[in-house]
Amino acid sequence: RDAVAAARACKGWPEATAYNRSQVLYYLAENLSGRAGEFAARLTELTGATAKAAREEVELSIERLFLYAGLADKFEGRVHQPPARAVTLALHEPVGVVGIVAPDNAPLLGLISLVAPALAMGNTVVAVPSEKYPLLATDLYQVIEYSDVPAGAINIVTGRTAELTGVLAKHDDVDGLWVFADAETCAKAEADSVGNLKRVWTGNGRSLDWTSAEAAGDALLCRAVEVKNVWVPYGD
């Protein structure tokens, strides 16, 4: 609950320009790159992954941060021409406070693949990292702290996935919830979220292939925004 309050109180991030958010994400990617060897070693130690696989996951995580840094000021709205003497501006706005429950598979890449698009679009985040490998997230928090990310923009809470998902689902000050966990936890999150009709996206017990195109780009950015339509009429 304190993490949600901190996310809601953070005004610097959602009010920052898209260009400024992109620069911070670039800086975060560069700082993670500077500690790539340390994170690869931690992955191997915690998950038993080979040194090669661990290095690849860290490199993909860095690439994904660079990707969303580049898209932060480029994933914009559109102009539509309805069957009337008007134009419609479809403007992208952040969802607000987004709860993110990260998967156990690819614990670093999965977490960054979910958190980065939400941040890029100006949301503030309460992230629940992998229950099995939470130390990766606490190590990442050290990088976040010296990467000019405003306080409250991203809040990491470690613990039991099912329990923390339930708290986020029932919390009426959480605007969106992304859950990649077992099928039971996903189903319960959907049921418990009806209190404030928050936007819920779950994997229904299926995790994405975090190395694939499905887990990157516009598909996730679309879930990180709400579209506000503004009608602009014009005369003869």
CATH number at residue 201: 3.40.605.10
The band of 138, judged by pLDDT with boundaries at 50, 70 and 90, is confident
Domain count, the chain: 1
Is pLDDT above 90 for 231?
no
* This prediction's pTM: 0.92
Q: Collapsing DSSP states into helix, strand and coil, what is residue 179?
A: strand
d(CA 12, CA 160): 30
Q: Which residues have CB under 8 Å from 171's CB, separation 6+?
A: 1, 4, 99
Give the per-residue pLDDT at 58: 96
What percent of the chain has pLDDT above 70? 100
pLDDT tens digit sequence for 217-227:
898 999 999 99
- DSSP letters along 54-93, please? HHHHHHHHHHHHHHHHHHTTT---EEE--SSSEEEEEEEE
Give how far the C-alpha of residue 176 lies from the chain's centroid of Cα atoms, to the nearest Å: 11
Give the per-residue pLDDT at 61: 96
pLDDT tens digit sequence for 2-24:
999 999 999 999 999 999 999 99
Strands (E), the chain: 78-80, 86-94, 97-101, 124-128, 154-156, 176-179, 199-202, 225-233
pLDDT tens digit sequence for 94-133:
999 999 999 998 999 999 999 999 999 999 999 999 999 9
Q: What is the mean pLDDT of residues 33-57?
A: 95
pLDDT tens digit sequence for 142-176:
899 999 999 999 999 999 999 999 999 999 999 99
The boundaries of the domain holding residue 153 are 2-233
